[in-house]
Amino acid sequence: MTLAEQAREAACEYPFIHDALEAGVLNYSAAARFLDIGDEEAVAAALRRYGEELSYDADETDVRVTMETGLGRGEGGLLTVGETGFVSGEGTLTAILVSGAVSIRLFRRVLARCETADIEVRGSGYDPEAILVVVQRRDGPDALRLVESVCSS
């Protein structure tokens, strides 16, 4: 395997590096040091060439964002993960639902923004027509604004 192939493979192992390459904002030398797969200058050059091949595609923003409060745990419902379901009722959770043609990239961005905003995600799900994020009720309004912001950028 060539060093260029190793650099591409290593960049794909770390989605944040791949995202930065795609967006054209990566510090190639720092990434090469982080990846530690060979000569730093050669790896940085390989990453630079790989980044030039990529293009950043913005997500579609023709979606609808809604919020439902009062979710609790139960069987069936809006989302089931393993044995745990999130159902409408007298619970303390809030669901943020993004409806429309959504991408896995948008789902990743929503989850990443929740993480950087210190909003604890209690459950989440993805389908090509919907994203669902479950948070504590007190985080609901902030999560709603955050998701709307991600979907409009």
Indicate the pLDDT class of residue 61, thresholds 50, 70 and 90.
low
Q: What are the pLDDT digits (tens) for 30-59?
A: 999 999 999 999 999 999 999 999 877 665
Delimit the domains of the chain by residue range. Answer: 3-53, 63-152
Please give the structure tokens belonging to residue 45.
Answer: 């050059």
3-state secondary structure 8-20: HHHHHHCHHHHHH
Write the burial class of residue 82 (CB in 10 Å: 0-12 exposed, 13-18 middle, 19+ buried): exposed
Three-class SS state of 153: coil
The reply to whether CATH 3.30.70.260 applies to domain 63-152 is yes
pLDDT in tens, 76-122: 888 888 888 899 887 999 999 999 989 999 999 999 999 999 999 99
- pTM for this model (two decimals): 0.81
